Amino acid sequence: MPLYWTIDSKERLFTGSGEGDVTFADAMALLDALAGARAQSYRKLFDGRAVRSSMTGEELLTVCAKIRAIHEQGPVGALALVCTPEQTVTFAPLLGALAAADRPIKMFPGLRPANTWLAYQRS
């Protein structure tokens, strides 16, 4: 699986990263872990600079629907995304679903500014 994550209940922080081709099953497993841990209100940091999507358009829309369903379960924590400019185009539908939640969200080119910003976003 090319996606990795840590859920820290003491810090109320979900940290994820990835590498290589991400499949529909990979994305759904990450979302299932987040929902299963009831961590949707936690602050989130995801470093996706090394991932590529191997999902079809239909699969990507299903992932977006799952994200929106998680948002409806209650408060959603701040999200810091580390990504490349090219990824913002490729993942535009996904970014739109993530931005729909009532929470702070910001994209960064590197981990240091993302961590700094996220430290001020207490859930």
pLDDT in tens, 33-87: 999 999 999 999 999 999 999 999 899 889 989 999 999 999 999 999 999 988 8
CATH of the domain at 50: 3.30.750.24
Q: pLDDT band at 99, cuts 50/70/90? A: confident
The number of distinct structural domains making up the chain is 1
**What is the H or E stretch that residue 4 is in?**
strand 3-8
User: Containing domain of residue 114, as a range?
Assistant: 3-119
Assess whether pLDDT exceeds 80 at residue 92: no
pLDDT of residue 123: 54
